[in-house]
């Protein structure tokens, strides 16, 4: 029993080290061997053909083996997600080739010297009078309406009134991210290259309306029951989202034609000039262009919202899609000169706190690409 507990504790520590990118080569071998032991000792590994079902079953067995209670909760609220990621990583085909590279090939990840910076908390706050305040980790700003420590922006809780609505803007540059809590208690995480327009205080008897001018944001909406029944409305380009109290992610970048809305929990309606649809948790709507109908389908939630938890999560994402994400976070320009490389798929979870070279090396080792870095320009060949 004592040995079993020791083994379980070691496995948990290996998962944490892997996800924090602090794992050694020998520890990677142990982690891979753990999965191999499941293959040998559980018939379900051979019987199940679906990779997603294998991941889920493996997760359950892992959690049982480390005596962790299984609860149905949003993935980001419990450490259970970290074990789910680990189970997913171990069974991914693309990362499997990386393990082979680590176990049998060159045991080093080459990180070169360059001036490309990892993204940080930073933003520009534009007040109602047009004043601009640059927010970064050295900023401390306070007024009778708001306060910031350079990592988050908090508006004072105010009673909904009949006063004239005035707006503030929060603009996140490439290489940045920021968190804001609005005056109604709604929490918003903003990704790189995003802009949010919102009232300093909301008007009684009217929807609490904000606008994602462009970019990506995760919303945890304060429930309408706390605000005299006033709902919450988000506008972005040609799309409207109406909610009562829920959590969802919206991606609407200027250089992308699609608007993607992912529901985490609760219920939302998405609408445009010609159609209206209701989303269920785990569903994503795609609006290809302003005069189109919505496409609705199930998605892997962690792939859509891992960015706010400090991770890149990709499930069979094309190299072209991945490079767009890296461009925004590292504030670089990436050119894929080989057209055939653009559609190559990649699956994996990587910390956003890694140098860009580290990520490029992992992708290189699993997809046989090459790249060059010249100042803030990267060319994929």
In contact, 319 and 380? CB cutoff 8 Å = yes
pLDDT at 23 (0 to 100):
66
- Domain boundaries for CATH 2.60.120.1440 within the chain: 120-299
Q: Which residues pair with 240 in a beta bridge?
A: 235, 271
Per-position DSSP letters for 213-281, written without gaps between them: EEEEEEEEPPPGGGGTT--EEEEETTEEEEESS-EEEEEE-TT-S-EEEEEEES-EEEE-SS-EEEE-T
Please report where in the chains the tokens 């899609």 appear, as a residue: 321
pLDDT at 113 (0 to 100):
65
- Domain boundaries for CATH 3.55.50.30 within the chain: 311-380
Q: Which residues pair with 243 in a beta bridge?
A: 232, 268
Greater confidence (377 vs 114) lies with 377
CATH code for 120-299? 2.60.120.1440
Give the pLDDT confidence of 57-108 residue by residue, as tens digits. 444 444 444 444 333 333 333 343 444 444 444 444 334 434 433 333 344 4
Please report where in the chains the tokens 């919102």 appear, as a residue: 198
Pick the CATH number of 311-380 from 3.55.50.30, 1.10.287.130, 3.40.50.1580, 3.50.50.60: 3.55.50.30
Greater confidence (18 vs 342) lies with 342
Distance CA(58)–CA(38), nearest Å, equals 8
Greater confidence (328 vs 16) lies with 328
- Highest mean pLDDT (candidates 29-33, 115-119, 242-246): 115-119
């Amino acid at each position: 029993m004592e040995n079993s507990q020791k083994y379980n504790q070691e496995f948990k520590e290996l998962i944490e080290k892997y996800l924090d990118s602090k794992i050694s080569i020998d520890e990677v071998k142990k982690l891979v061997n753990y999965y191999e032991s499941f293959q040998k000792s559980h018939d379900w590994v051979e019987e199940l053909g679906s990779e997603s079902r294998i991941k889920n079953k493996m997760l359950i067995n892992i959690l049982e083996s480390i005596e962790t209670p299984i609860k149905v909760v949003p993935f980001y609220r419990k450490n259970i997600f970290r074990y789910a990621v680990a189970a997913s990583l171990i069974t991914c085909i693309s990362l499997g080739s990386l393990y082979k590279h680590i176990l049998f090939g060159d045991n080093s990840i080459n990180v070169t010297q360059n001036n490309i910076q990892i993204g940080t908390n930073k933003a520009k706050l534009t007040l109602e009078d047009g004043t601009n305040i640059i927010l970064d980790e050295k900023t401390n700003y306070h007024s009778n309406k708001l306060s910031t420590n350079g990592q988050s922006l908090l508006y004072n809780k105010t009673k909904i009134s009949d006063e004239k609505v005035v707006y503030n803007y929060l603009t996140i540059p490439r290489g940045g991210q920021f968190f804001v809590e609005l005056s109604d208690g709604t929490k918003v995480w903003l990704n790189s290259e995003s802009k949010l327009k919102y009232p300093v205080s909301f008007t009684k008897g009217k929807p609490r309306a904000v606008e994602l001018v462009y970019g990506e944001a995760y919303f945890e909406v304060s429930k309408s029951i706390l605000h005299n029944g006033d709902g919450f409305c988000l506008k972005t380009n040609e799309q409207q989202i109406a909610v009562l109290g829920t959590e969802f992610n919206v991606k609407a970048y200027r250089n992308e034609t699609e608007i993607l809305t992912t529901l985490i929990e609760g219920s939302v309606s998405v609408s445009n000039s010609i159609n209206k649809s209701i989303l269920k948790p785990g569903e994503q709507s795609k609006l290809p262009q302003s005069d189109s109908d919505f496409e609705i389908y199930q998605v892997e939630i962690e792939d859509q919202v891992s960015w706010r938890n400090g991770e890149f999560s990709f499930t069979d994402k094309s190299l072209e899609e991945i490079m767009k994400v890296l461009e925004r976070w590292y504030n670089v320009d990436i050119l894929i000169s080989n057209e055939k490389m653009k559609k190559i798929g990649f699956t994996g979870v990587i910390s956003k706190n890694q140098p860009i070279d580290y990520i490029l090396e992992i992708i290189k080792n699993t997809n046989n690409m090459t790249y060059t870095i010249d100042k803030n320009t990267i060319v994929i060949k």
